[in-house]
Amino acid sequence: MLRRPATELQDVLPLTVSNEPYQYKEYPNVTIYLANGEILNYHRSVLVKKCEFFSRMLGPGITNHINQIIHLTDPSPNAVKTLLHCLYEDDYQPFEPPDIPGRLNLHAKVYAASKRLVAPVARASTWQAILPSLEPSQPPRRQVEPPLGVEALPVAAEKSQQKLIELLDRNWHQALPALPNALQKIYNYVHPPDLFDLEKKLMQVMLYRHHEIMEGEMYGAMMYSAHAFMTKFAQEISRLQIRDSASYHANNQDYTRILRTKDEIIKDQNAQLEEKNLQLSEKNDQLDMKDALLKMKDNLLREKDGQLNASKLQTEALQERLMRIPPEKRTRKPHSWALSEVE
């Protein structure tokens, strides 16, 4: 997809990335979830080569045919999309007039994202876009005179630094608009070793509220006021993101293991139930066989009882007939012949 400069007929907007998928991005194998819930699809081979963060997350041992999922908690989704687009294009050339409001803030966010994700090409290209805005009015980092020692620092400066930390810590929302100017004054007048201690205190306060700093125009103004401090700030945020992403993947793996363990337990229980059902069915078959044998025995006993009853009846009938014959007529002939004669 070719990019073209904004014309008079087009709406002039800060640099964004189209939501439509690129034509050359077929068969993606990396799914990226942004902080605003947007889902992007990219290629592992491109991201690993041009960004150290993705090289760590998608490093050796992961094959291309497996789709990988990465959650980026960066509070500037538009800057992340612009950075990812720059990784594919190897160029960062926003075609926009110089008077667009917020362009420096957008460039600063993209630059910070490239620092956090360690993307050298995108960082260099973005810095080239930031330089024209900084060169005309960028103040010197340090004064020309030699650095002052601890003994020569005015008491008022120390009190103002202490008040600055207290104000940021207690009443953040009211102190936030004055933070860029305060950083500029601190980096112009405070020198090592006091600057290092102040940086640590400021870093602790600002990292706790880094989501608020990354939103709106504040980040661009702070990048303009104290570039060195904000570079360290971006690196610290990168470490937080890598740690959060690693903990997310670890928790996800633990959850997957738990699910697998539950599935295995359920499978074992189902197998045991099937074995018990088979045993019960075999016992039922044996009981059915016993019932059939008992029925056969009952039938045989009934038949024998019937035969015995019939023989008894015959014997009784013969005895009655013999009793009816007078004694004088009874002979010593065989019983069968005598009976036939009587008849």
Domains present along the chain, CATH in parentheses: 30-134 (3.30.710.10), 155-239 (no CATH), 277-343 (no CATH)
What is the pLDDT at residue 156? Answer: 33
Q: Which two tokens stand for residue 340?
A: 């036939």
Strands 39-42 and 30-33: antiparallel
What is the pLDDT at residue 331? Answer: 60
Place of tokens 């016992």: 283
Separation CA 341–CA 232 (nearest Å): 140
Separation CA 94–CA 114 (nearest Å): 16
**Range list of H helices, the chain:** 44-50, 52-57, 77-89, 103-117, 120-134, 155-170, 172-175, 179-189, 194-208, 210-214, 218-225, 227-324, 335-342
What is the pLDDT at residue 3? Answer: 38
Digitized pLDDT (tens) for each residue of the chain, 343 residues in all: 333 333 332 333 333 333 444 444 567 778 888 888 888 888 887 888 878 888 887 776 555 556 788 888 777 777 788 778 777 776 665 534 455 556 667 777 777 777 777 777 676 777 666 666 555 444 444 443 333 332 323 333 445 566 556 656 665 566 566 666 666 666 666 666 666 666 777 776 677 666 666 665 666 667 666 666 777 777 776 776 666 666 655 666 666 666 667 777 888 888 888 888 889 888 888 898 988 888 898 888 888 888 888 888 888 888 888 887 777 776 655 555 444 544 4
The half-sphere exposure of 226 on its side-chain side, counting CA atoms within 13 A, is 23
Separation CA 235–CA 207 (nearest Å): 11
What is the pLDDT at residue 145? Answer: 37
What is the pLDDT at residue 212? Answer: 64
Q: Which two tokens stand for residue 124?
A: 């260099």
